Amino acid sequence: MLKNIDPVLTGALLKALDEMGHGEKLALVDRNYPSKSSGAQVIHLGEIGIVRAAEAVFGVFPLDSFIDKPLLRMEADDRSPATPTHEGVLEVAARHHPKPLEFQLIPRPDFYEEATSCLLIVQCLENAPYSCFIAQKGTV
């Protein structure tokens, strides 16, 4: 056991996050995302929601401050507005980022392509639709 480490951050997840370098990407995805097809390492967090997963991940994972939008969000096929889940992830990420933060929206089919460049896929059992995000790592 470690002190002051969010229990959602398993040893495997902490190791994977730590080994990522500046500019590398991770995808934080919901239960419907086809994670195995991305080709990246997949870590399943089990029965937690995406906002809870974001709290744990963004507590230790610095977002890239050298680009304007280091956080991408899958856009719904019908281009519906952000959901409370989307807003929750943005709020959590913004608390840990030194600059104002906005999502870069990416259409669902393009998100799948972009996710193939991710080094790590973190999947939880979130059931809110289109709750998939890509984050680019910054420096500390």
For the chain, what is the domain count?
A: 1
Residue 22 among the catalytic residues: yes
Tens digits of per-residue pLDDT, 15-30?
A: 999 999 999 999 999 9
Q: What is the pLDDT of residue 111?
A: 96
Is the pLDDT at 57 greater than 90? The verdict is yes
Q: What is the pLDDT of residue 2?
A: 77
- Domain assignment present for 105: yes
Q: Tell me which H or E stretch contains 7.
A: none
- Domain assignment present for 2: no
Q: What is the pLDDT of residue 93?
A: 98
Tens digits of per-residue pLDDT, 25-55?
A: 999 999 999 998 888 999 999 999 999 999 9
Q: How many CB atoms lie within 10 A of CB 76?
A: 16
Q: How many CB atoms lie within 10 A of CB 92?
A: 20
- Domain assignment present for 93: yes
The residue range of the domain holding 92 is 23-136
Which two structure tokens, joined as six digits, stand for 22? 């500046």
Q: Residue 120's domain is classified under what CATH number?
A: 3.40.1650.10
Return all residues near 55 (Cβ < 8 A) that are at least 6 apart: 6, 8, 92
Q: What is the pLDDT of residue 71?
A: 98
Is the pLDDT at 1 greater than 80? The verdict is no
- Domain assignment present for 17: no
Instruction: Tell me which of 22, 44, 86, 97 is the catalytic residue.
Output: 22
Is the pLDDT at 68 greater than 80? The verdict is yes
- Domain assignment present for 128: yes
- Domain assignment present for 8: no
Return all residues near 81 (Cβ < 8 A) that are at least 6 apart: none
- Domain assignment present for 103: yes
Q: How many CA atoms lie within 13 A of 36 on its CB side?
A: 0
Tens digits of per-residue pLDDT, 84-134?
A: 999 999 999 999 999 999 999 999 999 999 999 999 999 999 999 999 999
User: What global pTM score does this model have?
Assistant: 0.95
Which residues face 74 on adjacent strands?
106
Which residues face 105 on adjacent strands?
73
- For tokens 């959901």, the residue is 83
